[in-house]
Amino acid sequence: GTLYIGVMRRARERLTFREDLELR
């Protein structure tokens, strides 16, 4: 969701793999 995007941007360094999964 949009909320996760905000958190993702902050911890995208350690959530690189989850970033792709959430965006898809």
Tell me what pLDDT residue 12 has: 65
Tell me what pLDDT residue 10 has: 77
Tell me what pLDDT residue 7 has: 78
**Number of neighbouring beta carbons within 10 Å of residue 15:** 16
Residue with tokens 């898809």: 24
Summarised one tens digit per residue, pLDDT across range 1-24 is 677 777 777 776 665 666 667 766
Tell me what pLDDT residue 21 has: 72
- Interatomic CA distance for residues 7 and 20, integer angstroms: 14
Tell me what pLDDT residue 14 has: 65
